[in-house]
Amino acid sequence: MEEWYNAIKSADSIDKIEEIRIAVFGKKGIMNAEFARMKDVPNEEKGAFAKELNIHKEGLNALLVDRKLFLAMEHLNASMKGEAIDVSLYSPVSERGSLHPVMETMDRIVEYFVAMNFSVQTGPMVEDDFHNFEALNLPKYHPARDMQDTFYFKDAKLLRTHTSPVQIRTMMSTKPPIRMIAPGSVFRRDYDLTHTPMFHQVEGLVVEEEGKVSFANLKFILEDFLKTMFGDINVRFRPSFFPFTEPSAEVDISCIFCGGSGCRVCSKTGWLEVLGCGIVDPNVFKAVGYENVSGYAFGLGVERFAMLIHRIGDLRSLFEGDVRLLEQFR
Amino acid sequence: MIVTKNWLNEWIDLSAVSTQQLLKTFNAIGLEVDRHDVINVPQGVVIGFVESCEKHPDADKLNVCQVNVGTDVRQIVCGASNVRAGIYVAVATVGAQLPGGLIIKEAKLRGMDSYGMICSSKEIGLPSMGEGIMILDASIGLLESGKELSAYPIFNDDIIEIELTANRGDCLSIHGVARDLSAAFNKELRESTQKLEQEGRLGIGRILQLQHAETYDVELLFGAVEIKELSVPFLITLRMAILEENSLSIMDTLLKYATHSTGVVLRAYPFGMLEETGTGKSVMTLSHDENGYAALYGKEKLSIVGVSQREEGRFLANSGLAIIEASYISPDIIAKKMGETKVVSCPHYYHTSRGSEPELEMGIRYVMRLFEKYTQSAIYGGNLEVQSSSETRVVTMDEGEFESFIGMKIDKTTLTQILKNLGMGISKPKASTFAISVPRFRHDILNKQDIIEEIVRMVGIDNIPSKALVFTEKNQNTDDLETYRKIRTFRQRCAQSGFFESVHFVFNERSLCERFGFECTQKEMELLNPITATFDTLRPTLMLGLLNSASANGKVNQKKIALFESGMVFDTNRIESKRLAFIISGGSMGEKLSNAGKAPVIDLATFAQRISDIIGSFEMSAYTPIHTLAHPYMCARIIINGAEAGELFRVHPSIEAEFDLSPTFMCEVKMDALPYGLVQAQPFSKFQASFRDLSLLVPKSLQYEEIKAIIVKHASVEIQRFYPVDRYVSDALGDNVSLSIRFVVQSMEKTLEEEEITVAMESILKGLNEELGVGLR
C-alpha cells in the first residue's frame, strides 16, 4: 500500500494521476483485489481487515483528489504564464470624439437657466427689420444699423444681429409672465482677430406685472449665473447703454487669469467684460403691445465664455474644425 | 473721448481726488475707462532760455547754443532745425534719465562741449508734437529758467480715454465730462460765467446781417473777430497732440480745441465770402438747400448747419475778419434727415449727431477768449442768433417707482440732490410726486426709466442689493426645449462614437456650391453685402464646411479625421432646416499595436455602421444625388422607417484629389427624420429561435434590395428577420455571385418543428425562383 501513497505524491501530471486512479480504484485495481481477499480472511479478523482497507481507501482517494487539484492548478498557472502580456504596451488612447467647446458651453448655460425655470425659445436666423431693430427701440437711423454691421439680403430681409428678435416673437405670441432664454447663432459683418461674421449668443428675458421686477432681481440672477459658470469670482456692474434696456449695465467678472491684480488678458484692469443687461425699455413693450409690465433682459456671447472658461486664445480657431483643438475636449 | 485730469480741473476742482478714485468713478457712472496713460516728465528736465544760437563750425546740421538754465548759462549742442535764440525750451540736464533709458552726460559733439540736451516732446515722454524741439511759451504758466518741467501741472497729467456709449453726446467735451463728475462727486463746477467785456468794442451788427425767411430746426449764434497773427500756444498744441490732432490749420486747431473743451460745434467763415450789400454790411442767409438741409449762404453756399462746410467757406488765413459760428441741432432731427438724404459730412457731424452742447454762448465766449488771450485779435461786441422753439421736457414720477424699478429704497433728499446735481429742475406738484424737468444737453432722457438710470448711475449699481425674484412657477417644457434636447442627445452620441463636433459659418461660396450641383438662395433673395467672396451665400448643405475642415486637417497630416456638425441649412427660399452631417477621412481607427500601425482605411460598411451607432438602424438604397460630390457607385439614400432621411456616400475620387483627401465618406441626414422619443415595447417570443442559411446564386447586377423585397413578400410570420452573411465571387460562377442569407425563424406560440421551418423557407425560395429566377447555389 505504502508504495501507492508514494506514487500519488510523486505523480507529475494529470495523466499520471489518472493512471494511478485506474490502477488503484479501477475495476481491476488493487482496491477491488484487496476487497476480494476478504472472503479468505477468517471471520473474526474480517472486521479489522475491512476497517484497515477502508482507511487506505479513503486515504488514497483524498490524496489523489488533492494531488489532482494541485496539478490542475499548476497546469493552469503554467498556461496563464504563457499568456503573459506587457500591459504597459496597451495604455489606450481614447478614440471618443468630443462636443465643440462653444456648443458645450452653450449647453451648460442652457442647463443653468432651465434649472431656474426659464423656457428655451428659438427663432429664424433670417429676420426682418421690425423684429431685429424697430421693435427693439433701434430706430431707423441708429448707428448700430449701419451696413457695416448687418448682413442684408436683396429683399430687405437681414441676418439677425442678436437673438433679441426671438424675445420679440415670444412676447408677441404669448402673454406675460415670461421667463425665457434664446440661444442661437447671430451675425455681424465683421471679420478680424476678435470678430467672426457668425457667433453665438444666449439672451434672456423676464417679464412680470408692473412693479414686480427690479434691478436688484437682475443682479441676483446674473451674479448667481456667473458664479455657476466661472466659480469663485467677483462680479461688477457698470452703467452702460443699450437701445432696448434702460437702465443698462455691462457686467464684469474679476479676471480669472490674474485674480484681479491685472494682466495682459484683462488689459491690466483686473476685470473681464462678459455680459450686457438692463431693465427692458418701455418702448420695447410698447412695440409688442404690452401694458403695465416690467422686466429685465440680458445677453452674452457664448464664444467669449468658452474662450475664457477653456483658455482658448484664438477666436477664429473655433470655426476651423481643427482636430488638434477639438481632441483636447474628449 | 479723451480727457486729462488737468484739463478737467479747469472746469471742476479735482485737487482732492486721486487718479484711482477718478478712474473708479468714471466706470461707476457709466463712462467706461478704455485707457489710462500718465504724463510724467522726468526729474532734471528744466526750462531753459536760448540766449544765443550759432552754427557749429564743423557740422552743418548742428547748432551751438548758450542756454540759460537759471543757475548758469550752459553750452548745449543741438541738432534740431527749429532751435534759435530767444526761445524757451526743455533742457535735459546732465544726470537726467529720459523715458527711453538715456542718461544725459557731458559730451563733445564734433569737438564742441555740450552740457545737456534740448528736447523734443517725444524724448521726454510726451506725445509727438511734430518735428524738432519743443518751443515753450507762457501758456503753461510763468516761464522760469531752471524750473523743473514736472513742477508745471501740464507736464504732470493723466490721460484718460473714455468709451462713451451712443446716448451720451453730452459727455463729448471736457466740460460735459466735468458736469457728470460734478454730480458724481456732489461738487459744483467752477464758475465761468463772466461775460466778455463789451465796452469799446465795435458791434457785430455794424458789419453783419443775418437773413432767414422761415423757421428752422437749428440754433445758431455768430460772433465776429478781426484776426491778427493767429498762432497756437504750446498748451493747446500739446493737448491737441494728446488728442492726436496734429494736422489741422491754425484756425481749425483753435476751434477744435474749443469744441473739445465746451462741446459746442464751432466754425469760422472768412468775412470776404459773405455777400456785400454796399452799405458796409455783409449778409449771411440761412435757407434750405437742394436736399432740404438748413444751409448758410454768403456769395455762395458756405455750409450745411452742423453737417459740413464747403472748402471755399473755410477760414484758413492767419489774419483777417472772421465770422465764428456756434450751432446746435437736435441729434434726433439730424440723424433722421441724414438717414433720409445722405450727404457728405465733416468731423463736426459726429458731435452734432450724438448731441452737441446747446449752450452756444458758452462756446463762442470760450473761443473768443482764446483769440484774445493768445493773439492780438480784436473781438466785435455782441452776437447774432437764430433760435428755434424748444419746450422743456418734463418727466413725472411717483416716489414709489424709484424703489420698484431699482429694488431698494432711496430717500427723497438723496434723490433730489442727485437730480439737481445732474442739472434737472425739480418741482413737487404732490407730496409723493416729482416733476423733473430735463436740461437740454440731456437729449437722451425721455422717460421714467431714463431718470431711473441716472439715479442708478449715481447711487452705483454695486450698492444695489441682489434680490431673488419671486415668480409664478410655470411648465417651461416648450417644443423648442424638446428639440434642443433631441439635438443634444444626437450630438452626445456623435461624440461618443468618435466624431468631433465642428462649427462652421452658415455662409458658403455660391460658385462652389453651384459647381457641385447644389441650389443656393434664389438671386432676388441673395445676400446683399457678403463679407468675402467665399461667404457670399447661405449654405445649402453642411457637407462643404465639413469637406473644407477635413481637407485642412489632412494638410496638417491628420491620418484619421472624423467630424460632425449639427446645424441649419437653407433652401432656395431661405427656409431653414436642421441637419446632422458626418465625415470620416482616412483611417477608421487610430494607428496602434493591434493593427500593426496600419489602421484600416474607412470603407462603406464601417462608415455606415458608425452612423447607425448614432442615428439607429437604417436601410440604404441605390441613389443618384442632385450634387456631384458623391462616388457614383458608392452612394446611398438613407431610409428610416420607410421615409427618406438623408444620404451616405463615398466622396468622388476626383473631389478627394482636389481637396487632398484620403478615401472619404460623408453622410447628411435631416434632424426631423431621426427617431427620438419614448420607446413602445413590443411583445417578444419566449420560444427558441432557429437559424437557417440560404446560399443563392444571383446575377451580379441584381441589387440586394430587390431580393429583399421578394423575401419580405413571401416570408411567413415566423420569419423574424433575415440578413446577408456572405457574398462569394468566383470566376467559376460567371456573371453570378453566391449570396448567403441567414434567416431567424421563430414563433410567438411554440417551438417550431423542423417541417414547419422547411415550409417557411420553401415558400421564400419559390417566390425568389418565380419572380427573380434566383435559386439555390
- Strand, coil or helix: B551: helix
Nearest in space to A185 (alpha carbons), one of B533, B486, B666, B576: B576
Tell which of A39, A58, A90 closes a domain. A90
Interface predicted TM-score of the whole assembly (ipTM), two decimals? 0.88
Cell numbers found for residue B700: 451580379
Range name among B4-13, B194-203, B731-740 with the lowest pLDDT average: B194-203
- Residue B472's pLDDT band (boundaries 50, 70, 90)? confident
In this predicted structure, the answer to whether residue B167 has a pLDDT above a threshold of 90 is: no
Inter-residue contact A179 to A298 (CB < 8 Å): no
How does DSSP assign B51-68, residue by residue?
Answer: EEEEEETTEEEEEEEEEE
Give the other-Cβ count within 10 Å of A305's Cβ. 23
Residues of A in contact with B168 (CB under 8 A): 241
Distance CA B178, CA B149 (A): 26
pLDDT of residue B506: 97
Residue A79 lies in domain = 2-90
B393-463 CATH fold: Phenylalanyl-tRNA Synthetase; Chain B, domain 1 (3.30.56)
Test A155 with B524 for CB contact under 8 angstroms.
yes
Test A141 with B335 for CB contact under 8 angstroms.
yes
Q: Which residues contact B541 (CB under 8 A, 6 or more apart)?
A: B508, B513, B518, B569, B579, B581, B627, B668
Q: Which residue of B has its CA nearest to A247?
A: B453
Question: Do A204 and A144 share a structural domain?
Answer: yes
Q: Least CB-CB distance to A95: which of B498, B501, B525?
A: B498
Quote the pTM value.
Answer: 0.86
* Helix segments in B318-435, DSSP class H: 331-340, 348-354, 360-374, 399-406, 412-421
Question: Do A195 and A262 share a structural domain?
Answer: yes
Per-domain residue ranges of chain B? 2-39+159-185, 44-147, 204-386, 393-463, 480-673, 690-776
Nearest in space to A143 (alpha carbons), one of A169, A157, A161: A161
Inter-residue contact B667 to B638 (CB < 8 Å): yes
| Cis bond upstream, residue A247 (ω within 30) | yes
pLDDT of residue B754: 93
pLDDT tens readout for residues B313-324: 899 888 899 999
Test B491 with A323 for CB contact under 8 angstroms.
no
pLDDT of residue B194: 59
Range name among A98-107, A145-154, A224-233 with the lowest pLDDT average: A145-154
The CATH code of the domain at B480-673 is 3.30.930.10
pLDDT tens readout for residues B350-395: 999 999 999 999 999 999 999 988 888 888 888 888 888 778 899 9
The reply to whether B204-386 shares the fold of B44-147 is no
In this predicted structure, the answer to whether residue B202 has a pLDDT above a threshold of 70 is: yes
Distance CA B60, CA B54 (A): 11
Q: Is residue A273 part of a domain?
A: yes
In this predicted structure, the answer to whether residue A239 has a pLDDT above a threshold of 70 is: yes
CATH 2.40.50.140 fits B44-147, yes or no: yes
In this predicted structure, the answer to whether residue B481 has a pLDDT above a threshold of 80 is: yes
pLDDT of residue B67: 94
Q: Is residue A275 part of a domain?
A: yes
Residue A142 or A234, more confident: A234
pLDDT tens readout for residues B57-113: 888 889 999 999 999 999 999 989 899 999 999 999 999 999 988 999 998 888 889
Calculate how close chain B gets to A234, using CA atoms only, in Å. 11
Calculate how close chain B gets to A76, using CA atoms only, in Å. 26
CA A193 to chain centroid, in Å, comes to 30
Residue B194 or B493, more confident: B493
Burial of B447 (0-12, 13-18, 19+ CB in 10 A): middle
What is the domain count for chain A?
2
- Residue B651's pLDDT band (boundaries 50, 70, 90)? very high
pLDDT of residue A143: 66
Test B29 with A326 for CB contact under 8 angstroms.
no
Tell which of A48, A69, A90 closes a domain. A90
Inter-residue contact B301 to B289 (CB < 8 Å): yes
Test B478 with A120 for CB contact under 8 angstroms.
yes
pLDDT of residue B511: 96
pLDDT tens readout for residues B397-448: 998 999 999 999 999 889 999 999 999 999 877 778 889 999 999 988 999 9
Q: Name the phi and psi angles at A157, rounded to 5.
A: -75, 175
Tell which of A90, A123, A154 closes a domain. A90
pLDDT tens readout for residues A103-128: 999 999 999 999 999 999 999 999 99
Cell numbers found for residue A309: 472658461
pLDDT of residue B103: 93
pLDDT tens readout for residues B548-582: 999 999 999 999 999 999 999 999 999 999 999 99
Task: Report the b/e string of B533-554 with b at 16+ CB within 10 A.
Answer: eebbbbbbbbbbbbbbbbbbbb
Test A220 with B467 for CB contact under 8 angstroms.
yes
Question: Do A294 and A174 share a structural domain?
Answer: yes
B2-39+159-185 CATH fold: Phenylalanyl-tRNA Synthetase; Chain B, domain 1 (3.30.56)
Calculate how close chain A gets to B473, using CA atoms only, in Å. 7
Percent of chain B with pLDDT over 70: 99
Q: Is residue A300 part of a domain?
A: yes
Question: Do A33 and A166 share a structural domain?
Answer: no
Q: Is residue A96 part of a domain?
A: no
pLDDT of residue B389: 76
Q: Name the phi and psi angles at B614, rounded to 5.
A: -95, -50
State the average pLDDT for chain A: 93
Residues, chain B, total? 777
Question: Do A125 and A75 share a structural domain?
Answer: no
Question: Do A133 and A64 share a structural domain?
Answer: no
- Residue B743's pLDDT band (boundaries 50, 70, 90)? very high
CATH architecture of the domain B204-386 equals 3-Layer(bba) Sandwich (3.50)
Q: Which residue of A has its CA nearest to B24?
A: A238
Q: Least CB-CB distance to B405: which of A279, A319, A327?
A: A279
Question: Do A42 and A19 share a structural domain?
Answer: yes
Test B501 with A100 for CB contact under 8 angstroms.
yes
State the average pLDDT for chain B: 92
Q: Least CB-CB distance to B467: which of A90, A142, A217?
A: A217
Question: Do A125 and A52 share a structural domain?
Answer: no
pLDDT of residue B498: 95
B690-776 CATH fold: Alpha-Beta Plaits (3.30.70)
pLDDT of residue A144: 65
Q: Which residues contact B352 (CB under 8 A, 6 or more apart)?
A: B265, B306, B307, B327, B328, B329, B331, B334
Test B404 with A95 for CB contact under 8 angstroms.
no
Question: Do A37 and A115 share a structural domain?
Answer: no
Test A100 with B498 for CB contact under 8 angstroms.
no
Distance CA B103, CA B93 (A): 9
Residues of B in contact with A144 (CB under 8 A): 166
Distance CA B175, CA B170 (A): 9
Q: Which residue of B has its CA nearest to A321?
A: B502
In this predicted structure, the answer to whether residue B198 has a pLDDT above a threshold of 90 is: no
Q: Is residue A57 part of a domain?
A: yes
pLDDT tens readout for residues A157-169: 999 999 999 999 9
Q: Least CB-CB distance to A97: which of B474, B481, B562?
A: B562
- Residue B196's pLDDT band (boundaries 50, 70, 90)? low
- Residue A148's pLDDT band (boundaries 50, 70, 90)? low
pLDDT of residue B466: 95
In this predicted structure, the answer to whether residue B193 has a pLDDT above a threshold of 60 is: no
Test A152 with B166 for CB contact under 8 angstroms.
no
In this predicted structure, the answer to whether residue A266 has a pLDDT above a threshold of 70 is: yes
Provide mean pLDDT across the span A23-51: 89
Adjacent-strand bridge partners of A93? none
